[in-house]
Amino acid sequence: MRAFSTRLKSGVLVSAAGVFGSAFLWLLSFKAIAYWAGPEGVGLFSQLRQIAQAATVGATFGGTNSVVQGLAERDDDSARRQFRTTAAPIIGLTGATLALAMLAGAPELTWFLLSSSAPTLVATVRWIALAVLLNVGGTYALAVLNGYRSYSYLALAQMAGPAAMMVLLIVTSLWHLPPEPQKLAGAFVLCFGLTFLVGAFGVSRLPKLLDGSAIKALPKVQRHAFIQFAMSNLVAALSTTIALLLIRSWVIEIKGLAFAGLFDAGWTLTFNYTTLFLTACSAIYLPVLTAATRLEAQKACMLKMAYFVLGSSILICYGMVLLREPLINLLYTSQFQASSQLLVVLVIAVIFRGVSWVYGTLILATRNSRVLLLSDLALNLCLLVMTRYALNSDASLEALGWAFVLPNFLYLIFVIEYARMKNRLLQRRKIWPFLVAGTLPLIYLALAFAEPQWVRSGLFEWLCIAIGLIVGLITLIVYKKVIL
C-alpha cells in the first residue's frame, strides 16, 4: 500500500493538472460567455452542457467508473484488451443510438428542457446530439487512459478540447458577434471532438500485445457481470445528472434564463469544481481502494483520502467565502453578484459531498450494485423534492442552496454508516469532529448573511473564517500522519 503515497504525489499531480487545467479553461469559457451574453447566455450554456452530460452518462453507463474499475481489477494486459473488446462496441452502439434519438426528438427535448419551441433552439439541440456522440467517444478514451494509468495522455486529452473551446468563445466575444444559441452548440462540438481525437491518439500509444494474437471478447459470465455493474452505475450516475437537468429546467421555467445563470454561477464555483477535484483524486483512489483487500489497508486508504479531501475542501471553501465578491467579479461579471449568498450556502453542501464521496467510493470498489443504485436514487429524489419545494415556496437563491445541503448531509450519514458496517475498523470519531468543526462556522455565516446587515458583525465573520482555516490545516496535518 505504500504505492498509494507514491502515486498520490506523482500520478494524482499529473491527473490533477489535467483536471484542473481543464477546469480553468472551462472557467475562462464561462467568463467569455458572461461578458458576451450575460446571465441569460450562461444559463443557456449551462443547460446545454447538462443535456450533453446527461446523454453521455447514459451512453457510457455512468461515465468513466465502469471502464476504469473493469481495467483496474485486471493486471494482465491480455485480460484488459479482452475487456476493452467487449466494452467498446457496447458503449459505441449505445452512444450512436442515443444521438440519433436526440436528433429525432429535438423539438420535444427543447420544449421540456428549455421551455421553448423556437426553431433556433431546436437546431441547437440537434447540434448537441453530434456533440454527445463525440463526447461518448472521448469519455471512453479518457476511461481507458485512466484505467491504464497513462496520466500524461489523460491530462493532455482533458485539456485539449476545453482549450480550443475557450479560444473560440473569447474570439467570438471580442468580435461582438451576436450571441446565437447555435454558436454555443458549435463550441461544444469543437470541444468534445478535439478531446476525442487526442484521447484516441493516447489510446493508440498504449502498449500492444507482443504476440499479435487476436483478442476475443470476455466470457459470457464476465460479460454479464460487467453489464450488470455498468447498468447499476448507469442508473446511479444518470439519476444525478437527470436531477440536475430537471432542477435547471424548473429554474428556467419558473424564474427564467437570467435567474438560471445566477444559480449556475454559484453552483459552478462550488459543486462543479469540487466534482473536478474529486475526479482528479479518483484517478488514483478508486483503483487503489479496489485493490485493498485487507481491512487495515482499506481503513488507512479511506482515512487518508478523507482527511486530504476534507482539509483541502475546508481551505478552498473558506477562501471562496472570504473572497466571494472579487471572485465572482473576476470569473463572471458584476451582474452575477447576487450569486455570492448562494455560494456561502453551497460550500456547506460541498464539504459534505467531498467526504461522502470518499466513503461512498467503497460501494463502487466492492461493486455493491444494489446499494449503489438505491442510495443514489434516494439522494437525488430527496434533492428534487427539496428544490421543488424551495422554488414553489421561496424561489430565492439562498433557498435553493439549502435544498442542496440537507440531502447531502443525509447521504453523508448513510455512507459513513455503510462503510462502518463493511469495515468495523472505521470509527465515527475519526471523521465527525473534523466535519462538525469545519462546517459549523460556515453554517453561522450562511444564516447571518440572510439577516439584515446590523445583525452580523465583521469581527465574527473574520473569526469564523479563521476557525475554519485552522481546522482545515489541522485536518491536513492529520492526513500526513496516516501511515499506509
What is the rounded distance in angstroms from the CA atom of residue 424 to the CA atom of residue 315? 30
180: left (phi over 0), alpha (psi -120 to 50) or beta: beta
Using the CB atoms, write b or e for 227-244: b if 16+ within 10 Å.
bebbebbbbbbbbbbbbb
Closest-CA residue to 89 (of 61, 130, 62): 61
For residue 353, count other CB atoms closer than 10 A to its CB: 25
Tell me which residue has cell 443510438: 97
Q: % helix / strand / coil in the chain, to the nearest 5?
A: 85, 0, 15
For 93-188, strand residue ranges (E) read none
What is the rounded distance in angstroms from the CA atom of residue 135 to the CA atom of residue 137? 5
3-state secondary structure of 75: coil
Tell me which residue has cell 430527496: 382
Using the CB atoms, write b or e for 317-328: b if 16+ within 10 Å.
bbbbbbebeebb
Any residues with CB less than 8 A from the CB of 202 and at least 6 apart, and which?
Answer: 141, 145, 150, 153, 154, 156, 157
Write down the pTM of the prediction.
0.75
**Confidence (pLDDT) at 16:** 67
| Contact indicator for 379, 403 with CB cutoff of 8 Å | no
Tell me which residue has cell 436531477: 243
| Contact indicator for 217, 37 with CB cutoff of 8 Å | no
75, three cell numbers: 493486471
Angle at alpha carbon of residue 376, lines to 429 and 238, rounded to 5°: 145
The DSSP secondary-structure symbol of 451 reads: S
Mean pLDDT by 10 residues, the chain (484 residues): 50 68 84 87 89 86 73 74 82 90 92 88 94 94 84 88 92 84 92 95 79 58 67 70 87 88 88 75 73 82 91 93 89 87 93 92 76 84 93 86 94 93 88 95 85 59 91 93 78
What is the rounded distance in angstroms from the CA atom of residue 450 to the CA atom of residue 357? 29
Residue 78, Cα to own-chain centre: how many angstroms? 31
First to last CA, the chain: 6
Contacts 24+ apart (CB under 8 A), 336-339: 336/34, 336/39, 336/42, 336/261, 336/262, 336/265, 338/262, 338/397, 339/262, 339/263, 339/265, 339/266, 339/269, 339/397
What is the rounded distance in angstroms from the CA atom of residue 310 to the CA atom of residue 356? 10
What is the rounded distance in angstroms from the CA atom of residue 12 to the CA atom of residue 4? 10
**Confidence (pLDDT) at 466:** 93
| Contact indicator for 270, 346 with CB cutoff of 8 Å | yes
Tell me which residue has cell 460479460: 223
What is the rounded distance in angstroms from the CA atom of residue 370 to the CA atom of residue 20? 32
CB-side neighbour CA atoms (13 Å) of 446: 23
Q: Pinpoint the alpha helices (H) of 366-396.
A: 369-393
For residue 208, count other CB atoms closer than 10 A to its CB: 10
**Residue 406 burial (CB < 10 Å; 0-12/13-18/19+)?**
middle
| Contact indicator for 82, 217 with CB cutoff of 8 Å | yes
**Confidence (pLDDT) at 455:** 46
What is the rounded distance in angstroms from the CA atom of residue 15 to the CA atom of residue 13? 5
State the DSSP string of 4-19.
HHHHHHTHHHHHHHHH
Tell me which residue has cell 499479435: 212
Q: Which amino acid is at 23?
A: A
